[in-house]
Structure 1
């Protein structure tokens, strides 16, 4: 019941006429469909960067991964790409949302079970700043650290279709 109340509150506040610009909280309908993670860049001091993204796999395994977003219940999934011998195909269900704190707009998600309940007992998840979100592209920035050095992982998605098959 609590989730239903929160969902109704969300739609009453943000469901009417939300624009696609990042200056406002994006509409969940913008993400509806199947997306491909097309590019990953590391921004920081010069050096070699390697990231284990979302506690799932090396960043190289995410390039070409498929992401499905279902806006009516804020669920979805992603499947990593086995592009080389070091990558396994991993499939994770997620629940996702947008968050606005001050001027920052974020995309966030948690791993979920088959009933769309968070898998983590402490209900932790992942949050990335939205740099761009249009009907065909999304670019997010995920702050990271390695051996005490901060850097950003910039992730680009391109929409492939409006299909939403889990």
Structure 2
């Protein structure tokens, strides 16, 4: 019985590698650049079913690791519906040959799900104390395109 309880607790716990990534992500970041890799041309993209990609450049992202919540803030402009967007986030550990995955879904100010359980996943390509690079893979006209997000910690 004790062995079963110990196995249950261990299976629910977060690995040391994931805890380290969460601690590094925790804090305030600025999204400095969005690049479209694996393809040439000009793209007009709506990111996270929310706003045009140009609206995200310079946006501030805050990640709180103790309760897995955060927000990003988009400045108002002629192309951008500004304001705060709240989300719940986590880091998913992958097999050793793959990079970990960052996932999030939108919530309201009261931490209630507003996305119907749907969310977004990005691969953590690079993470240091001052820089973070994430990637999401999409298809445009049947061709793979990687959207690369470059963050700098404040």
TM-score by length of 1: 0.78
Shift of 1:117: 2.9
Higher Cα Rg, which structure: 2
Shift of 1:9: 5.8
Q: Which residue number in structure 1 is paired with residue 67 of structure 2?
A: 73
> Would the aligned equivalents of 1:40 and 1:63 in 2 still touch at CA under 8 Å?
yes
The correspondence of residues 19-30 of structure 1 with structure 2, limited to 5 A, is 26-30=20-24
Unaligned runs of 5+ in 1: 1-7, 19-23, 161-166
Shift of 1:88: 2.2
Residues 43, 11 of structure 1: alpha-carbon distance in 2 compared, 3 angstrom cutoff? same
TM-score by length of 2: 0.83
1:133 and 1:140 mapped to 2: Cα distance? 9
Q: Which residue number in structure 2 is paired with residue 126 of structure 1?
A: 120
Q: Over the residues paired in the alignment, what is the CA RMSD in angstroms?
A: 2.1
Q: Greater helix percent: which structure?
A: 2
Shift of 1:151: 0.3
Matched, 1:90 2:90: no
> Would the aligned equivalents of 1:26 and 1:133 in 2 still touch at CA under 8 Å?
no
The count of corresponding residues between Structure 1 and Structure 2 is 144
Q: Which residue number in structure 2 is paired with residue 107 of structure 1?
A: 102
